[in-house]
Amino acid sequence: MAKKGGFGSIVRRVIYECDIVIEVVDARLIDLTRHHELERTVERAEKRLILVINKADLVPKAFLDSQKKLHDNCVFVSCRERHGFSKLREM
């Protein structure tokens, strides 16, 4: 039997208690790995959302440039190549 409120209520509570929400998505499948309901909840809570696009080393630079124009709140990182973390800390 599920607990009253469940996981969704915990996520909403955490969003309302924090200052910044970091959503990590896969550079190869950005739209498929985004959590749009989470993003709407963050927006309703008037919190800052940073979209961290991981595995940036696996897609062409031209693709990353096009995505940067679509998502002004994003940072590209590569855990394998260890790129992008300074930029993330600056945000």
Q: pLDDT digit string (tens) for 24-52?
A: 999 999 999 999 999 999 999 999 999 99
Residue 1 has pLDDT above 50, yes or no: no
Q: What is the C-alpha separation between 87 and 17, in angstroms, rounded? A: 24
Q: Which two tokens stand for residue 15?
A: 């969003």
DSSP string of 24-35, one letter each residue: EEEGGGHHHH--
Supply 19's token pair: 């200052």
> What confidence tens digit (pLDDT) does each residue in 76-88 have?
999 899 899 998 8
